């Protein structure tokens, strides 16, 4: 395996998608853009329509000097918490770059721990970085597009939840499905709405195993 190239003059942008949803992984991307190949239209992925994100993602993957997408799954989110899982996904995305940058710009107010990463570079957290820095905006687009595709695939496994439409976020449709069907294996049980839905469903299931008169008393 070839060792990553060292490029001290280049900057990598890092961002995530999916910190807020009740279901699915949190996805991060790292991007090193080519200064000689400008891509018009890059900005915070939340400010773009889905079709625009898809088109820009193709351009970014084709023109970037290096890019990488990684994620932390639901088990890791529930085990560590969403912040630590997000940072884990960011670390994995950086490890996936085949070029080691001299500087890393991360969206937000806190950088993940870079202890043990196989690269020597400086790091910077930038609030609203996906709107202020093109490289972070590019990372936000790749992360969002990748996660949306994952949720569309998961929709085929759990069609009653509507993941293809809301991507796991808190919507009336999602809450209604949670209340009716309970959490799936891809729901974040450490998130309170999911936990409460699971507890309510378990309670009703337990009551169903009681003698009829006991169930009436319990209700």
Paired with 21 in beta bridges are: none
Helix residue ranges, H only, the chain:
50-63, 74-80, 82-95, 129-132, 134-157, 163-166, 172-181, 192-208, 212-218
What is the Cβ-side half-sphere exposure of residue 140, based on CA atoms within 13 angstroms? 25
The reply to whether 55 sits in an annotated binding site is: no
Give whole-number Cα distances, 174 to 77, 186, 195, 204, in Å: 19, 13, 14, 20
Radius of gyration for the chain, computed over Cα atoms and rounded to the nearest angstrom: 20
Task: Give the three-class secondary structure for 202.
Answer: helix
Q: Do the Cβ atoms of 174 and 186 come closer than 8 Å?
A: no
The reply to whether 128 sits in an annotated binding site is: no
The reply to whether 15 sits in an annotated binding site is: yes
Q: Annotated binding site for a divalent metal cation: which residue ranges?
A: 15-16, 107
Q: Annotated binding site: which residue ranges?
A: 15-16, 107
């Amino acid at each position: 395996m070839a060792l990553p190239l060292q490029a001290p003059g280049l900057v990598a942008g890092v961002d995530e998608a999916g910190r807020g949803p009740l279901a699915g992984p949190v996805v991060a991307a790292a991007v090193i853009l080519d200064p000689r190949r400008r891509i018009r239209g890059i900005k915070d992925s939340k400010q773009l329509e889905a079709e625009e994100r898809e088109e820009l993602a193709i351009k970014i993957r084709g023109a970037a000097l290096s890019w990488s997408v990684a994620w932390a799954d639901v088990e890791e989110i529930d085990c560590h918490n969403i912040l630590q899982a997000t940072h884990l996904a960011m670390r994995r995305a950086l490890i996936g770059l085949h070029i080691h940058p001299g500087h890393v710009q991360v969206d937000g107010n806190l950088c993940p721990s870079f202890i043990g990463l196989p690269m020597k570079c400086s790091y910077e957290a930038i609030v609203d970085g996906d709107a202020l820095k093109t490289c972070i905006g590019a990372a936000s687009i790749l992360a969002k597009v990748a996660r949306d595709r994952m949720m569309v695939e998961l929709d085929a496994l759990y069609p009653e939840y509507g993941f293809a439409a809301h991507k796991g976020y808190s919507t009336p449709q999602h809450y209604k499905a949670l209340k009716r069907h309970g959490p799936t294996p891809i729901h974040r049980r450490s998130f309170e709405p999911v936990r409460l839905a699971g507890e309510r469903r378990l309670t009703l299931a337990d009551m169903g195993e009681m003698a009829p008169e006991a169930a009436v008393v319990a209700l």
